[in-house]
Amino acid sequence: MKKIIAVVLSLCVVLGCASFAIASDATIEKDYVVSEKIRNVSVTMAQDSQSSVGVCWHTDEESATAVQFVIAEDYAGTFEGAKTFRGSCESFKEIYVHKVKLTALKPGTEYLYRVGDDVADEWSEIRSFTTDNGDENFKFIAITDVQAGNEDNFRKASNVMKTAYETMPDADFFAHMGDYVNDCTQEEWDWYFNNFNFVHSSLVHVPAAGNHDGNITNKINHYWFDSMFNMDPPEECIRAEGVYYAFDYGNAHIVVLNTNDMYPMTVQQTNWIKNEMNSSDAQWKIILMHRAFYSAGKNLIKPDTIIMREQLLPLFDELDIDFVMAGHDHVYMRTHQVKGDKLVEDVTYVTEDFNGVETTFAVDPDGACHVLPGTAGTKTYSINDYVFDCVFDSNIVANCFSQRDIGDRGIFSTVEIQGGKLVYNAYAVDYETGEKELVDTYAIKKTTEGEASDKTMLPTDSATTGVAQTFNFIYRFGKMFFDYLFIIIPKLIINAI
Ligand SMILES: [Fe+2]
């Protein structure tokens, strides 16, 4: 009966679619009173991770916008004489959004900073961030889909993040693959920032836009995501329903996609992805995005997922992407190496020491590994195994489970790159006690250097790509309906019988 209901629902879908902190806030003496007017402060990765960051915060009233910063080891108990950068203050809904871009920073350097109003002399607490030193070793924490609708669930997700930070206290940054909030109200974003301030106060952030973070598929709520963080997208990026951007970190080129740009993804963004990856000679090519191609949750056979898989999977193969991290479906999944939507079978493995742990690496494997690290939040989905095979070959799945089946715990993951080695780990965490358990691990070793392609840069403005965009729209929709009618629905029916 469950299977029949699933088929009916699927048909409906188709038809319907037409003291970590601051290094040390506790120990740094302040010679001023901290203003309570300033909230939701974050530092976000810029295109040049060695010399620049974006700072963002919110206030309820319009005010001057400034950041004062100093190299941490030069700090002598006062910001007198510190550099001051000024930025923009813009009204958004019921708040004012302050953004400042800090530039000409020194690589591999910890800075202390405060944000605020340099006219009224009202400032935040002292916070910190560290720039990329550019060497081939770095590590980051990734979480996704906190997506809470009340403060207690943000608290539970923040306990998962606290354990992540304890596990990797020397992380260079932390990424979130989208859906920070559920209904995208300012109250929810305030809850998010209140509960995650401990990590935003000392670690650079890499945000990816989720469909709940202000997107037309949930409600018409333009520019929410862009108003929460100070990201560094290309000039032509339309920020209304998410933001895409890219940066080098160490020996990796990391592209953060806006998968709210869909039905289908615009030619502007896909051309930009090609330009970014083709022109990079980084050894590692990594994608962070919200909507996952490989999952087993309820979104697996929705039209947006079907269209994006068709459109982006060949692109990722063409661009030799190594590692893809996504979110959206609130289940855990990691694939084996995948190329052409198929399992890469001839992978060679070697077991070597990595930080004192015997680790098995896939050596120079073809294709990419796709990871969907569940959710750090409390909203979890069950596994839709009866639709699994209707969309992709289940042989590619290396690890898949519902968090409901492991005692309802949140998940965070870590990625560490040391030269040609990449090691990924995922941990399940008790929302209350913070107790963690390693639930998955995977590693890749590359013996080849990265190489930029000599391909011509493609146009990324809407005027030049207009014709291609129209063709792309018609083709992608046509292909989606074809896939549903002749591949997916027949398989659903056969599986249900
Ligand atoms: Fe989502």
- Residue-wise pLDDT for 102-122, tens only, equals 999 999 999 999 999 999 999
Cα separations in angstroms, 168 against 6, 194, 198, 253, 356: 41, 21, 14, 21, 15
Residue 387: what pLDDT? 76
Q: How does DSSP classify residue 181?
A: B
Amino acid letter for position 317: D
**Burial category of 327 from C-beta neighbours within 10 Å (exposed 0-12, middle 13-18, buried 19 and up):** buried
Q: How far is the CA of 17 from the centre of ligand 1 (A)?
A: 17
* Both structure tokens of 12: 């409906």
Domain hosting residue 64, numbered range: 47-87+103-130
CATH of the domain at 53: 2.60.40.10
Q: What is the dihedral of CA 40, 43, 44, 47, to 10 degrees?
A: 150
54 φ, ψ (degrees, to nearest 5): -110, 130
Task: Compute how many other C-beta atoms are within 10 angstroms of the C-beta atom of residue 438.
Answer: 10
Rounded to the nearest angstrom, the distance between the alpha carbon of 181 and the centre of ligand 1 is 10
How far, in Å, is the centroid of ligand 1 from the Cα of 31? 43
Q: Give the pLDDT score at 413.
A: 98
* Judgement on whether residues 285 and 415 belong to the same structural domain of the protein: yes
Q: How far is the CA of 182 from the centre of ligand 1 (A)?
A: 9
What does the alpha-carbon distance between residue 80 and residue 397 come to, in Å, rounded to a whole number? Answer: 56
Residue 416 included in any domain: yes
- Compute the distance between CA of residue 426 and CA of residue 463 in angstroms, rounded to an integer: 43
Query: Based on the domain organization, do 343 and 373 belong to the same domain?
Result: yes
User: Do 319 and 251 share a domain, yes or no?
Assistant: yes
Residue 11 included in any domain = no
Q: Are 321 and 277 in contact (CB under 8 A)?
A: yes
- What pLDDT score does 300 carry? 87
Quick check: is 404 in a domain?
A: yes
pTM above 0.85, yes or no: yes
Whole-number CA gyration radius for the chain: 22
Whether 410 and 389 have beta carbons less than 8 Å apart is answered as no
Tell me the CA–centroid distance for residue 117 and ligand 1, in Å.
36
Q: Is residue 58 part of a domain?
A: yes
Q: Which two tokens stand for residue 344?
A: 């890469």
Number of domains, the chain: 2
Distance 327 CA to ligand 1 centre (A): 7
Going from the Cα of 191 to the center of ligand 1, the distance in angstroms, rounded, reads 19
Would you say residue 408 lies in a domain? yes
Nearest Cα neighbor of 414 from 100, 173, 66 is 173
Q: How far apart are CA 99 and CA 115, in angstroms?
A: 10
Distance in Å, CA 286 to ligand 1 centroid: 20
pLDDT in tens, 292-327: 999 998 888 899 999 999 999 999 999 999 999 999
Pair (65, 160) in one structural domain: no
Question: Rounded to the nearest whole angstrom, what is the distance from the C-alpha of residue 439 to the centroid of ligand 1?
Answer: 23
CB of 283 within 8 A of CB of 273? no
Is there a single domain that holds both residue 257 and residue 156? yes
Check whether residue 213 and residue 360 sit in a common domain: yes
The residue among 174, 38, 43 whose CA lies nearest residue 97 is 38
Residue 492 lies in a domain: no
Beta strand 173-176 pairing with 127-130: unpaired
CATH code of the domain covering residue 328: 3.60.21.10
Residue identified by tokens 């048909």 is 11
Q: Give the distance (Å) from ligand 1 centre to CA of residue 241.
A: 13
Coil vs helix vs strand at 282: coil
Q: Within this chain, do residues 215 and 77 fall inside the same structural domain, yes or no? A: no
User: Residues 155, 296: one domain?
Assistant: yes
- Are residues 121 and 151 both part of a single domain? no
Other CB atoms within a 10 A radius of the CB of residue 70 amount to 19
Residue 198 lies in a domain: yes
Same domain, yes or no: 120 and 159: no
Give residue 44's pLDDT.
98
pLDDT tens per residue, the chain (497 residues)?
444 444 444 444 444 433 444 444 446 777 899 999 999 999 999 999 999 999 999 999 999 999 999 999 999 999 998 999 999 999 999 999 999 999 999 999 999 999 999 999 999 999 999 999 999 999 999 999 999 999 999 999 999 999 999 999 999 999 999 999 999 999 999 999 999 999 999 999 999 999 999 866 556 678 999 999 999 999 999 999 999 999 999 999 999 999 999 889 999 999 999 999 999 999 999 999 999 999 998 888 899 999 999 999 999 999 999 999 999 999 999 999 999 999 999 999 999 999 999 999 999 999 999 999 999 999 999 998 777 788 898 899 999 999 999 999 999 999 999 999 999 999 999 999 999 999 999 999 999 999 999 999 999 998 999 999 999 999 999 999 999 999 999 988 888 88
What three-state secondary structure class fits 461? coil
Indicate whether 6 belongs to any domain.
no
Between CA 51 and CA 43 the distance in angstroms is: 13
Q: What is the predicted pLDDT for the residue at 220?
A: 66
Taking the centre of ligand 1 as the mean of its atom positions, its distance from the CA of residue 291, in whole angstroms, is: 7
Separation between Cα atoms, residue 122 and residue 64, nearest integer Å:
10
Same domain flag for 245 and 360: yes
Shared domain check, 210 and 83:
no
